[in-house]
Structure 1
Amino acid sequence: MLTKIAPKPLRWQRAQSSPLTRQIDVFTAAGQFMFYLWADRLFQNNSPYTRSVRAEWLLKTLLNLGPTFIKIGQALSTRADILPLEYVNELQKLQDKVPEFNAEEAIALIESELGKEIYALYRDFDHFPIAAASLGQVHKARLHTGEDVVVKVQRPGLQKLFDLDVKAIYKIMRFCQRYLPWTRKYNLDALYNEFFTILYQEIDYIQEGKNAERFANNFRGYPGIMVPKVYWRYTSKKVLTVEYLPGIKVDDRQSLEAKGIDLKRLNQLGISCYLKQLLQDGFFQADPHPGNMAVNADGSLIFYDFGMMAEVKSLAKEQMIRTFFGVLRKDSDEVLETLILMGLIEPVPDMMPVRRMVAFLLEKFTEKPIDFQAFNEIKDELYLMFEQQPFRLPGQMMFILKALTTLDGIARTLDPQYNPVACAKPFVKSLTTVSQKERGNLVGELAKQARNYVRFKLQQPSRAEVLIRHLEKRIEDGELQVRVRTIESDRALKRINMAVKTLIYACLTGFVFLSGAVLLIGGYQGGAIAAFSLSALGSWFLVQSLFNLWTREKLDRLTEK
């Protein structure tokens, strides 16, 4: 008789002995991955095969590190415009192929939480989960009243694991702030607090049920949005029972087309839905990856997971409204001002490169897909921004940007010719018909901005007038004058400075190494070990300096093309 062998548990699923063990796991994984990337870049080993090997290693490592890091991988899996294809293909497996845990453990937890035997609660209960996620898994069941439901069960020991991750990541954050000065300009404390606040909310299924009902109320009467009903009698802090609503995975383009779903309309529905969440409701799903959304046979969008929800503060919402309509009007000054007020851009002495880049993006890509080759037109501005680093990520904006970039990745998967402005038009149109009674302060601001946008489109100047104004603007900004500052000279001086620093590191490292060799020959082993240790440290700084010099030269050559 054959016996089914249980899969070997992942490292995070085993008993953790101490926070130190977890910290070692996290530091080791991060250090190993950075070393791989550094070595591949140093030896120019960047073939598709190498990337596939690294991506497979990263997938296994994230799975071994557990839920916190799986969440990070899930967010990255939709960014085909940022990561190489090999990484995207591997990380997509995190969306719905996270290893399941034993059904007996799930049943034991349900019975413990709800206080009854499994078949006293449900008429039928499928022992095989229909999906496994980073924080739990889902089983199909049927109530004694006949309704089909899904039962979401939390992974055993999740609270303890989160407590360990809080400490491990806090240590990494403190290490970065102490030894990597360039990380201090990013508000890591706010990001850390915001991330773990929402992550702890995700493991409270009672709160998730309340979130689902609030979300459903916000979209009551809104066509094309479906939210599963919560069955509170069969719900606790670690068990959630909701209505069974099957659908096609939202990024499965082939299946959607086979069912005759209009992908452009689906993108419009998704974009308009999120604009309503962000700009109107101020309450949005912060984790819209493909495993959390599906499409019904009639083209309706189904939302499944309401654990990671976030609220938009009133001030941020008002600024986002201004930014949104500034983008529609291609008003670079308005967009830049609101981005500064939201803390996404820090004012720097020379704002011209940032201003030009914002205007360039609004002009080129609000009505057509991004073409990265077009960035050659502003390569000098990109170089200066690389030097100044004016961009920031405030804690309250982290999940807004994460949700928007994830949604943008899904939209581009469904339609490579995806147009954000066109997709937003149904939302704008709905705002222009808001009645006087429905208007609060922010809704009134939305309606006002929408009407101003319609008025702007009707009064839009001719192309000749636009070209003349653009020419005047360039003359005012000094873009048609000879620049006083010679950028090429600045670059050359910086390269010389870095080369001198590299030469000093090489000389010191070589001198200390030779001293160690002399001490070793003379029988002074203690001194030799100390010298070799210093030489190893010097080698690290030397390699780092060489890499920085190489990066600088590559960047300079790129901008000179």
Structure 2
Amino acid sequence: MLWEALGAARDLGRVHDIAAVLIRYGFGDLVQRLGMARALERAGKVLHLRGQDDIARLEPAARVRRALEELGPTFVKLGQILATRADLFPPDWIAEFGKLQDAAPAVPFEAIRAQLAEDLGDLPENIFAELDTTPLAAASLAQVHRARLADGTPVALKVRRPGIRPVIEADLRLLARLAEIVEAEAPDLRRYRPREVVRQFAHSLRRELDFSAEGRNAERIAASFADQPEIVVPRIHWQWSGERLNVQDFIEGVPGRAVAALPEGFDRRLLARRGARAVLKMVLEDGFFHADPHQGNVFYLPDNRLAFIDFGMVGRLPEARRYEVAELLHGLVDRDGGLVTQVLLGWSDAAEADSESLRADIDRFVDEYHGVPLKQLDFGAMLGDVVGILREHGLALPPDLALMIKAFITLEGLGRQLDPDFDIAGEAAPYLREVILAHHAPDAIAKRGWRGLVSVADLLAGLPHDLARLLRIARRGSLKLEVDVPPLKAFGDQLDRAASRLTMGIVTAALIVGSSIALTVNRSDSVSLIGLLGFVGAMLGGLWVLVSVWRGGR
């Protein structure tokens, strides 16, 4: 099954590595079901389906997390994306995925010198007045070195790990095939949209590998805050930046992880408000936001300024989606269960969902917050509870909304670290009101109406042509109706294999009977040779049937 998908031996080594790790962590049955063991056996590779006792005693979530860590950067990134999907996984799994750290041993500077010189167009020592060969940080995709330009400007060099792209591309091909298998073989998991999740993940990871895309993201966000000097985004030095190298201004400040050690002169409450307004502006006003605003990507600067770094992962929300987000948050704040249910059902796109049961659970949830002042609302916990209700009802969010909710939850956590009385609901209220008013403004309504009329007119104008084409196809007898039923196809394949075994069994039995008659009726040498060859053929046919039955049952 997996072997046919690969189509070539280029991914065989990676398949072996992945299968070995899965088996070591007790997922040998998954390796067998996905056809990985059969693919490796055909290539002459052997796997021992045995786990380790100490690993077997771990909880499933911990085993999955450790397996992802060992599988390498692609799977670590996948785990970090899954950590945002509280609508798919229970809290203990989300907590385990949250432990995945995007860290890796540093590559020696001499191993990246040639790639760095190629990307710079000259030797590093000819470009930079100073260059620290010891990295400040090392992650799965890149490592960061500090340097100083000839004019004295301090910069940070983000260098992609040599040879990382082929490994990631092989992993993405395998993940895409695994998602197809899951959708075909596990109908109850289709509502989680595995192919869509993998497609979005692959797109995000490929863009994250392209450091020039990260630079463009940074410039776009910097432009939106051009009139707000309290928000800092590092400048990109494009003359030395490209796909594998990003040279940007070095940010000297207090990292978000060290918020407890903020020196005197910093206004914690003001920093919390500014950080909240920056993220709310990106999400609800611009529709283009930093999708990973964790503590390591935020710095506190003098004069109560904030700096955001690392724009490899960004989220996008079109205007219609921003209005839906505003409606959801407005419904939560106003405790309107009907509005919240309507938005969630629209997002999950689940026609078979029990809307009455979901509405009852949402009503009970919002009733718990009846009479609670806005300042006492834990907005992050509210959103977490909402996606928990979705998970209980088997509903899943689109990936862009999962990123947005994760950003909101992270934002409130950072705000409350700075100010225990941080009121994100109060900070969000003006932005929500602006989004809703803008959606219902006369010019916005007129624009949507005009677009609708144009679409209807185009449909009506093309209707005669489409009907004429349909009638021509019907007259020629070429009109076809295709119905794809994957389980029925699998059943047909099983019947085909069973018929092949039955036919071979009948042929083998006939050879045995015919050869026996030939040996007993006539004693001539030629007839005896024919009988002997018949027995040999029967033995080979019988062995084929036994091996086929054994492999199929396994």
Interval of TM-score (by shorter of Structure 1 and Structure 2):
0.5 to 0.7
Q: Which of the residues 212, 216, 225 maps onto 1:210? A: 216
**Aligned in 2, Cα 1:394/1:302: closer, same or farther, shift over 3 Å?**
same
After superposition, where does 1:28-47 map in structure 2 within 5 Å? Answer: 28-30=20-22, 33=25, 35=27
Kept in 1, the 8 Å contact 2:136–2:146? The answer is yes
Kept in 2, the 8 Å contact 1:431–1:447? The answer is no
**Aligned in 2, Cα 1:62/1:35: closer, same or farther, shift over 3 Å?**
closer
- What is the TM-score normalised by the length of structure 2? 0.63
Q: Which of the residues 15, 18, 21 maps onto 1:26? A: 18
Query: Distance in 2 between the 1:402 and 1:264 partners?
Result: 22
**Aligned in 2, Cα 1:527/1:163: closer, same or farther, shift over 3 Å?**
closer
Q: Which residue of 2 aligns with 1:68?
A: 74
Aligned pairs, how many? 414
**Aligned in 2, Cα 1:399/1:368: closer, same or farther, shift over 3 Å?**
closer
Q: Which range moved further: 295-304 or 215-224?
A: 295-304
Query: Distance in 2 between the 1:173 and 1:237 partners?
Result: 28
- Secondary structure of 2:278's counterpart equals helix
Query: Distance in 2 between the 1:86 and 1:339 partners?
Result: 24
Q: CA deviation at 1:396?
A: 4.2
Kept in 1, the 8 Å contact 2:133–2:145? The answer is yes
- Secondary structure of 2:239's counterpart equals helix
Q: Which residue of 1 aligns with 2:121?
A: 115
- Secondary structure of 2:377's counterpart equals coil
Q: Which of the residues 367, 377, 386 maps onto 1:368? A: 377
Q: Give RMSD over aligned pairs.
A: 4.4
Q: Does 1:344 align with 2:353?
A: no
Q: CA deviation at 1:281?
A: 0.2
**Aligned in 2, Cα 1:253/1:147: closer, same or farther, shift over 3 Å?**
closer
Q: Percent identity?
A: 26
Q: CA deviation at 1:233?
A: 1.5
**Aligned in 2, Cα 1:173/1:151: closer, same or farther, shift over 3 Å?**
same
Q: Does 1:133 align with 2:142?
A: no
Whichever residue aligns with residue 444 of structure 1, its letter is: A
Q: CA deviation at 1:166?
A: 1.3
After superposition, where does 1:489-508 map in structure 2 within 5 Å? Answer: none
Query: Distance in 2 between the 1:51 and 1:114 partners?
Result: 47
Query: Distance in 2 between the 1:36 and 1:533 partners?
Result: 16
- Secondary structure of 1:305's counterpart equals coil
After superposition, where does 1:137-536 map in structure 2 within 5 Å? Answer: 137-222=143-228, 224-256=230-262, 265-341=270-346, 343-344=347-348, 346-348=350-352, 350-364=354-368, 367-369=376-378, 386=392, 388-389=393-394, 391-407=395-411, 410=414, 414=417, 422-429=423-430, 444-445=438-439
- Residues 49-102 of structure 1 show CA distances to partners (whole Å, capped at 9, x for unaligned) of 9669985x66654343222222234456799992389847853xx14x422112
Whichever residue aligns with residue 239 of structure 1, its letter is: L
Q: Which of the residues 69, 82, 88 maps onto 2:91? A: 82
Query: Distance in 2 between the 1:371 and 1:326 partners?
Result: 15
Q: CA deviation at 1:270?
A: 3.3
Whichever residue aligns with residue 368 of structure 1, its letter is: L
Query: Distance in 1 between the 2:219 and 2:202 partners?
Result: 23
Kept in 2, the 8 Å contact 1:262–1:299? The answer is yes
Query: Distance in 2 between the 1:427 and 1:396 partners?
Result: 19
Query: Distance in 1 between the 2:298 and 2:436 partners?
Result: 28
- Residues 174-207 of structure 1 show CA distances to partners (whole Å, capped at 9, x for unaligned) of 2211222211122222222222112111122222
- Secondary structure of 1:330's counterpart equals coil
Whichever residue aligns with residue 288 of structure 1, its letter is: P
**Aligned in 2, Cα 1:266/1:81: closer, same or farther, shift over 3 Å?**
farther
Kept in 1, the 8 Å contact 2:147–2:157? The answer is yes
Whichever residue aligns with residue 324 of structure 2, its letter is: Q
Give 1 or 2 for the bigger CA radius of gyration. 2
Q: Which residue of 1 aligns with 2:447?
A: none
**Aligned in 2, Cα 1:75/1:173: closer, same or farther, shift over 3 Å?**
closer
Whichever residue aligns with residue 426 of structure 1, its letter is: E
- Secondary structure of 1:123's counterpart equals strand
Q: CA deviation at 1:126?
A: 0.5
Q: Which range moved further: 139-148 or 226-235?
A: 226-235
Q: CA deviation at 1:447?
A: 9.3
Q: CA deviation at 1:353?
A: 2.5
Q: CA deviation at 1:111?
A: 0.8
Whichever residue aligns with residue 168 of structure 1, its letter is: L
Kept in 1, the 8 Å contact 2:327–2:343? The answer is yes
Kept in 2, the 8 Å contact 1:282–1:311? The answer is yes
Q: Which residue of 2 aligns with 1:4?
A: none
**Aligned in 2, Cα 1:267/1:166: closer, same or farther, shift over 3 Å?**
same
Q: CA deviation at 1:128?
A: 0.5
Kept in 2, the 8 Å contact 1:272–1:423? The answer is no
Q: Which range moved further: 193-202 or 22-31?
A: 22-31
- What is the TM-score normalised by the length of structure 1? 0.62
- Residues 508-548 of structure 1 show CA distances to partners (whole Å, capped at 9, x for unaligned) of xxxxxxxxxxxxxxxx99999999999x97xxxxxxxxxxx
**Aligned in 2, Cα 1:146/1:312: closer, same or farther, shift over 3 Å?**
same
- Secondary structure of 2:223's counterpart equals helix
Q: Which residue of 2 aligns with 1:8?
A: none
Query: Distance in 1 between the 2:272 and 2:90 partners?
Result: 18
Whichever residue aligns with residue 15 of structure 2, its letter is: Q
Q: CA deviation at 1:265?
A: 4.7
Kept in 2, the 8 Å contact 1:143–1:149? The answer is yes
**Aligned in 2, Cα 1:532/1:18: closer, same or farther, shift over 3 Å?**
closer
**Aligned in 2, Cα 1:308/1:81: closer, same or farther, shift over 3 Å?**
same
**Aligned in 2, Cα 1:263/1:133: closer, same or farther, shift over 3 Å?**
farther
Query: Distance in 2 between the 1:385 and 1:403 partners?
Result: 19
Query: Distance in 1 between the 2:279 and 2:67 partners?
Result: 32
**Aligned in 2, Cα 1:24/1:332: closer, same or farther, shift over 3 Å?**
farther
Whichever residue aligns with residue 205 of structure 2, its letter is: L
- Secondary structure of 1:307's counterpart equals coil
- Secondary structure of 1:236's counterpart equals coil
Kept in 1, the 8 Å contact 2:80–2:97? The answer is no
**Aligned in 2, Cα 1:246/1:344: closer, same or farther, shift over 3 Å?**
farther
Kept in 1, the 8 Å contact 2:119–2:244? The answer is yes
- Secondary structure of 1:242's counterpart equals strand
